[in-house]
Amino acid sequence: MKQIKKQPPPPPGAPVTSKPAQPVSNLVFTKKNYMWLLIGAVLILVGFLLMIGGGSADPTQFNPEIFNFRRLTLSPILILTGFGVVIYAIMKKSDPA
């Protein structure tokens, strides 16, 4: 069994040179990762909000508004971009601290 040597206490009146203990962060993601996650979630939400609408009050009437650029092209691009940003935020390595 190994013995651990204790250091003698500093003499009275000597300045204390030890730094206060820094809290150790055991979080998986850093602040930047959470920022990217939030940006991706907002892109996904905006994409789904742009897809809303285009219906008709009368079910017997056809409304061609459901096939416009916003619902058919723009919103799916925003949603897929949002998922790409979320995947990037999850896969991005944390900076060494």
Overall number of domains in the chain: 1
8 Å CB contact between 75 and 47: yes
How much is the pTM? 0.69
To the nearest 10 degrees (0 to 180), the angle between helices 31-51 and 75-91 is 160
* Mean pLDDT, all residues of the chain: 85
**Is residue 8 in some structural domain?**
no
**Is residue 19 in some structural domain?**
no
Which amino acid does the sequence have at 12? P
**Is residue 1 in some structural domain?**
no
Q: How far apart are CA 46 and CA 75, in angstroms?
A: 8
**Is residue 12 in some structural domain?**
no
Q: pLDDT for 27-73, tens place per residue? A: 788 999 999 999 999 999 999 999 998 777 888 888 888 889 999 99
Is the Cα torsion angle 35, 41, 44, 48 positive or negative in sign?
negative
**Is residue 51 in some structural domain?**
yes
**Is residue 43 in some structural domain?**
yes
**Domain residues for 61?**
31-91
